[in-house]
Amino acid sequence: MADTNEQARDEAADEAPGPDGPQDAGQFPRIRRITAWQRAERTLWRAPMDRSLGEQLAVLAADADALTDLGQPVDIYGGGVVAELEQRIAEVLGMEAVAFFPTGTMAQQAALRSWAGRSGNPTVALHPLAHPEMYERGALSVVSGLRTVHPTSEPRLPTADEIRDFDEPFGTLMLELPLRDAGFVLPTWEELEAVVAAARERDAVVHFDGARLWECATHFGRELPEITALADSVYVSFYKTLGGISGAALAGSASLIEEARTWRHRYGGQLFQQFPAALSALSGLERELPKLPSYVAHAQVVAEALAEGFAEAGAGWFRVHPDPPHTHQFQVWLPYAPEVLTEASVRLAEETGTALFRMWQPAGAGPPGISCTEVTVTESGLTWTAADVKAALGDFLKLVAEQERLARQE
């Protein structure tokens, strides 16, 4: 799993992971899938990467004059609109200082490397399903000389007791909120407070991998500044959830961010100009952030309708996880080969104009023959009623049965 192309999976949710990109390009050409998603009249989620290059440029240009002064000079190694974005993120998160990074991987490298030097302990405690362990090819150890340990392997974040009683010292506790590969799961607010307190008892620094932190406020019942106040540093993504082109931010104290900027330069992240990414991030903050509570609420409606639809259709074994969803994203598990389910998903979009599911992949846990997909609900999904979800599911299951018969004949 360490070689998974996580960005393609994350942004378009339609690539089978592999060390060099999609593994399924022959059977499911990407252009066919993207065309199906683009042409679908109804979908729960329209991925930014579904747009053509021209459409992406048009969207960016349409918002730009409302986001910043277009008469100002472009950014050069920071400054300009990039500095505006950093200030805006500091306000939104309630943190002292913020640095823009080209990628979240680099942002967290800088943060964790800085904390290792400050704490004198290069060991990072994190979940084995966390992003650095799953998708960064061992970068924490190979690039930054850090070591990782796992307080738990359960498909959830660690408990306070697991942190307090862990039998190895560590300098930093990294918590991914939500834990994406476990099903976008979150602890309760009280559990999160207890875990942080347990880390503090061990004199450990607390860092939040908040790539999707934006969507956590509804579950916790807290505003973003109250959530970030628990941590010493926080990373957030702009292309996840907010639909930006790329980029990330690291937030923390002024002294930490100053040091992180040094590491950003050392890691090759001191880019000459970044205004397109900064503009799209500002656009996402204005356009998507206020809508996230409605997305989270409607994801629960969709998840419940799917569970009821599977049961009413006599579909046999299935799993909608978590139940109810903690964010506007959740998993669906079914006992079929991923190529059968993906083909049925594409055909549903092509033949009915409705995109219910996208790419399916072998489940990371459970017996062979179980596949999993991620469901995302955004603005385009808010019009779906429970009846709409069940109707689309019924059509999907018919196509699954047909594809299963065809697969057995081959």
Per-residue pLDDT of the chain in tens (410 residues, 90 and over written 9): 333 344 445 433 333 333 333 334 345 688 899 899 999 999 999 988 788 889 889 989 988 999 999 999 999 999 999 999 999 999 999 999 999 999 999 999 999 999 999 999 999 999 999 999 999 999 999 999 999 999 999 999 999 999 999 999 999 999 999 999 999 999 999 999 999 999 999 999 999 999 999 999 999 999 999 999 999 999 999 999 999 999 999 999 999 999 999 999 999 999 999 999 999 999 999 999 999 999 999 999 999 999 999 999 999 999 999 999 999 999 999 999 999 999 999 999 999 999 999 999 999 877 889 999 999 999 999 999 999 999 999 999 999 999 988 888 87
Give which of 302, 375, 376, 366 is closest to 335, Cα–Cα: 366
Amino acid at 392: A
The CA R_g of the chain, rounded to the nearest whole Å, is 21
pLDDT of 21: 35
* Number of Cα atoms under 13 Å in the Cβ half of residue 373: 26
Q: Phi and psi at residue 356, in whole multiples of 5°? A: -95, -55
User: Which residues does 322 contact at the CB level (< 8 Å), separation at least 6?
Assistant: 183, 184, 185, 330
Pair (305, 229) in one structural domain = no
Report how many domains make up the chain: 2
Pair (182, 96) in one structural domain = yes
Q: What CATH number is given to the structural domain containing 346?
A: 3.90.1150.10
Listed residues 262, 287, 312: the one ending a domain: 287
State which residues form the domain around 34.
6-47+290-409
DSSP annotation of 179: B
Q: Phi and psi at residue 41, in whole multiples of 5°? A: -75, -25
Pair (275, 294) in one structural domain = no
pLDDT of 367: 80
Are 184 and 326 contacting, i.e. CB atoms less than 8 angstroms apart? yes
pLDDT of 24: 42
CA–CA dist 177, 208 (Å, integer): 7
- Other beta carbons less than 10 A from residue 265's beta carbon: 12
CA–CA dist 58, 64 (Å, integer): 10
